[in-house]
Chain A
C-alpha cells in the first residue's frame, strides 16, 4: 500500500523517453479519456443532425455556385427575347426572366456573387473586430473604454441604415456596399471577442503565462486567441447569415449589385418590380436565400452546442 511511484523520479532524466516499455511499468495508467478535444467537438457536431444537414447543404450550394461557369446551361447575361418569362420547360428548368435569361443559370452565378459578398463583409468585420476585441478585453483600461464606447455608438444605429449612410457617401456598388457592411458589423464581432477575452483573461493559465514571463503579444496569440475561437466561429456563421440578408436588402434598394451582374439580392429586386404580373419570379431567389441563411444559422447553432459542451464535465 505504501509504495509510491518514486522509482520513476530516480531514473536518470537523460534516458531516451518512450523507448523502453518496461520502464514505464510503474507509471500511472493512461490519461482519463484519450479523445482529442477537436475530435470530440467534431463528433458532437456530427451527431447533431440539423447541423450536419446545414453543412452538407451549404457545401452543395458552394460547389454548385463555384462551378457555375462550367456547369450552368447558359451564360448569365445571355438574353433571349423570344423566350421571355417562360415557365419551367425542358430547356429552362426554372424558366426565364423578363429578358429571357435562364433563371437557373442566374441563380448559380448570383449565388457566387452573393456568397462572396457576404464573405467579404464578414472578413472585414472580423479583420477589424477580432484584433480590437482581443486588445480591448486583454489590456482593459482607457483603450478598452474608448473602443467600447465607439462600439456602443455604432451599434445604436440599425445596421442597414448605417450601411446605406456609408454607401451614400462613397457611392453604390456591391463591393463598396459590402465593405460598408463589414465596418458596420465590426462592433458585433468586437463585442463577442472582447467578452470572450475578458473571460479567458481571468483564467489561471493566463496568469501562469504571465508568471513565466511570456510577452503580452505571445500570450494573446498563443493562449487567448485559440480559446476565444469557438465564440468567434459561432459569431462568424451568424454574421454570414445576416450579411447574406443584408446583401438582399441593399441590392433590392439598387445600392448593391448593379445590372447586369446577377446576385440573389438583385434578382429578387428585379422580381420585385414584376411582382404584380409575375409573382413566381421572386420564388427561386427567395428560396435560395432562405436555404443559405438557414444553413449558416444551423451551422452556427451546431457549433455553439458542440463547443458549449466542452465546458468542464461533472465529476
Chain B
C-alpha cells in the first residue's frame, strides 16, 4: 500500500453514477403528547443530493436545520418517511433486519462527541475490534493484530489499545473513533460534526488525518458541520440546509465566493473576521418552529430580500452559474438573477 500524496485535485470522475444517491428523502419525527395531538416535525424535507466516489460533500446549517438527521437517515439510523437512498448501487431504504446489518459494513459514521462515542467501560481495543468481530468473525488474536494496525494508522501508538477512553484527550478519542470507522474498509463515511468539539490545533490534526485516509482508501465523505471554514477546507461540493431543506448546493469554491442564497450569504458573513471589510449581516430572530414552518419559502421570516411571492409558494431549485442549484425566488422573480450569484445585488438595497 503506497501513500499517495493528497493533492487537492478534483475528485475522480464517477464511472457508474454517484456512490451515494439521495432522492426526495424525508424524515418525520412524531412526539406523542398527553391531552394534545401528536406533534409532527418534518426534520428532513424532500432532500436530494448525490456524492461521487472519492468525493467529500459538505453539509452546513444551523442546529435544527436537519443536517445531522440527514446523515443518520443515509445510514438508516433513523427511519425515513419518504424518498430513496442508494449507497454503492444498493437501495438501503429497502433493507431490513439482517440484510441491513450486513450492509452497514460499507457505510460508517464518525460522531460529534468523542467523549461519548466510545464505551467508557471497554478498552479502546474492545471498541475498535467490535466491527471486526461482528462482520469478519475474526479470531480474537487476528482482530487484535488488526486493531493495533488501525491505531497506528490514525497516528497513535498500538500500546494504547488496552487503555480506557477516559485516559485520552478529545483529539485522541476522535482518532480512535475514526480507527473504528475504517476498520472494515467502508466506502462511505458520514462525519457528523466530527471536529466541532476539538480545540483548533487538534481539529486540524484530525482533518488532515481524514484527508489522508480519504486519498489512501478512496473514501467518500458526507461531512456535516456548522463551521463553514472547516467545511470549505475539506469539501469538494457543499449543501446548505435550512429548516429541513437544502436551499443551495454547488462546488465549494462557487458557494463560498458567490453565494446564491441569502441564507448562505448570512452564514458566511457570520464567520468571525477581525479585519472585516464588509459589514456583518446579523440574522435577526431564530429558526421558525419546525413543527409549524411558514407557508412558502422557509427562510422568508429572516430574509432581507423577502418578496410577496416568497410568502406564497416554495421556490423551485434552479441552476446557478458556476455549478449547483439554489432554491430562491430571487432567481426567477424580482431582480430575476437567473443563475447569477447574490453578489450581483447591492447588499444594502432591497429589491
Contact = CB atoms under 8 A, between A and B. Distances in A.
Interface of A: 4-6, 8-15, 17-18, 24, 27-28, 31-37, 203-205, 207-215, 218, 222-223, 226-227, 229, 310, 312
B149 A312 contact: no
A27 B156 contact: yes
B205 A17 contact: no
A310 B100 CA distance: 36
8 contacts: A9-B209, A18-B158, A27-B156, A33-B166, A37-B121, A207-B77, A212-B130, A214-B131
A34 B130 CA distance: 23
A310 B159 CA distance: 24
Interface residues of B, number: 57
A-B interface, 5 closest residue pairs, ranked by CB to CB distance from nearest: A17-B158, A213-B104, A31-B167, A213-B101, A226-B121
Given A10-B3, A17-B151, A28 B130 contact: no
Contact of A13 (B112, B130, B152, B159): B152
Nearest to A36: B164
Contacts of A33: 166-167
Nearest to A311: B120
A18 B148 contact: yes
A283 B167 CA distance: 51
B148 to A, nearest CB: 4
Contacts, number: 130
Contacts of A211: 75, 77, 104, 108-109
A28 to B, nearest CB: 6
Nearest to B183: A212
A205 B127 contact: yes
B111 to A, nearest CB: 5
B135 interface: yes
A208 B131 CA distance: 10
B155 A212 contact: no
Given A210-B77, A212-B108, A9 B155 contact: yes
B1 A204 contact: no
Contacts of B104: 211-213
B336 interface: no
Interface of B: 1, 3, 75, 77, 100-105, 108-109, 111-113, 115-122, 126-127, 130-131, 134-135, 148-149, 151-160, 163-164, 166-169, 172, 177, 180, 204-205, 208-209, 212-213, 216
Contacts of B111: 204, 207-208
Contacts of B156: 27-28
Contacts of A312: 115
Contacts of B118: 205, 208
A233 B108 CA distance: 35
B134 A214 contact: yes
B152 A212 contact: no
Contacts of A37: 120-121, 164, 166
Contacts of B163: 31, 34, 36
A229 B122 CA distance: 13
A13 B213 CA distance: 12
A223 B152 contact: no
B149 A13 contact: yes
A162 to B, nearest CB: 30
A9 B103 CA distance: 28
A12 B3 CA distance: 9
Given A17-B152, A227-B121, A208 B157 contact: no
A31 B108 CA distance: 26
A32 B131 contact: no
A5 B153 CA distance: 11
Given A10-B3, A205-B116, A31 B160 contact: yes
Contacts of A213: 100-105, 131, 134-135
B127 A35 contact: no
A212 B134 contact: yes
Contacts of A15: 152
Contacts of B126: 222
B109 A208 contact: yes
B120 A13 contact: no
A227 B119 contact: yes
Contacts of B155: 5, 8-9, 27-28
Given A17-B159, A212-B134, 11 more contacts: A4-B205, A13-B152, A17-B151, A27-B156, A28-B155, A31-B169, A34-B167, A37-B120, A204-B112, A205-B116, A207-B111
B301 to A, nearest CB: 32
B169 A32 contact: yes
A9 B121 CA distance: 28
